């Protein structure tokens, strides 16, 4: 079991490095840092998307689209949980907010968000919103909860100093068969170079 845990940690490190390499953004733009931690729900991992504005610039609106084969969504008492509004009800259904995929904003506190779109399902979390306190320092945009071997994609658009900047990529851990194909392809490329 310990060997499997160490291998999973190694694989996660490879995937995180791969995610960082896949993010294509202008040289001077906001950046994404994706971190992962075991969710309180057994067999799931929570991925947190931290946004860092480009030095001295401000972010005034956000749009995020997260797609996965399976994404954990918790709707306590049938309350939508696209944003943090339903977090207070999570305890009533024996759940923890870190085990629910959601944007890390409340729709009315401290500011009332203007929401252009929002939706969630077992495979998707999407929202476009503005009117939050302008962001000039690091903040969490969302956290996405996937099965521990899950793989997902993101498409994030931010308005930074009135300029729209989009970043896309993948995150998570591919299933073992996919990982073997990726590692095999990498090994083949190394052998071919020689």
Distance CA 118, CA 73 (A): 14
Distances (CA, A) of 193 to 25, 154, 184, 185, 189: 29, 32, 14, 12, 6
Q: Which residues fall within 8 angstroms of residue 192, CB to CB, at 6 or more apart? A: none
28-53 tens-digit pLDDT: 689 999 999 999 899 999 999 999 99
134-170 tens-digit pLDDT: 888 999 999 999 999 999 999 999 999 999 999 999 9
Lookup: tokens for 191:
């052998």
Distance CA 15, CA 59 (A): 28
Give domain limits for the chain.
Answer: 2-193
Is 2.60.40.690 the CATH classification of the domain at 2-193?
yes
Residue 6: what pLDDT? Answer: 41
Contact 120, 82 (CB under 8 A): yes
Residue 56: what pLDDT? Answer: 82
Query: Whole-prediction pTM value?
Result: 0.77
């Amino acid at each position: 079991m310990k060997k499997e845990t160490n291998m999973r940690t190694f694989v996660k490190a490879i995937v995180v490095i791969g995610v960082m390499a896949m993010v294509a953004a202008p040289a001077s733009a906001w950046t994404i840092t994706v971190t992962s931690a075991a969710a309180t729900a057994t067999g799931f991992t929570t991925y947190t998307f931290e946004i860092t504005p480009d030095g001295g610039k401000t972010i005034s609106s956000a749009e995020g689209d997260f797609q996965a084969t399976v994404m954990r969504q918790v709707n306590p008492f049938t309350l939508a949980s696209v944003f943090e509004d339903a977090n207070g009800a999570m305890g009533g259904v024996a759940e923890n907010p870190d085990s629910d995929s959601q944007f890390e904003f409340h729709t009315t506190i401290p500011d009332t968000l203007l929401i252009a779109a929002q939706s969630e399902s077992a495979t998707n979390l999407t929202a476009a919103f503005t009117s939050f306190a302008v962001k000039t320092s690091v903040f969490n945009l969302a956290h996405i909860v996937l099965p521990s071997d899950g793989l997902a994609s993101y498409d994030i658009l931010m308005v930074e100093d009135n300029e729209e900047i989009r970043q896309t990529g993948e995150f998570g851990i591919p299933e073992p068969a996919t990982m073997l194909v990726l590692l095999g392809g990498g090994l083949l490329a190394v052998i071919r170079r020689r």
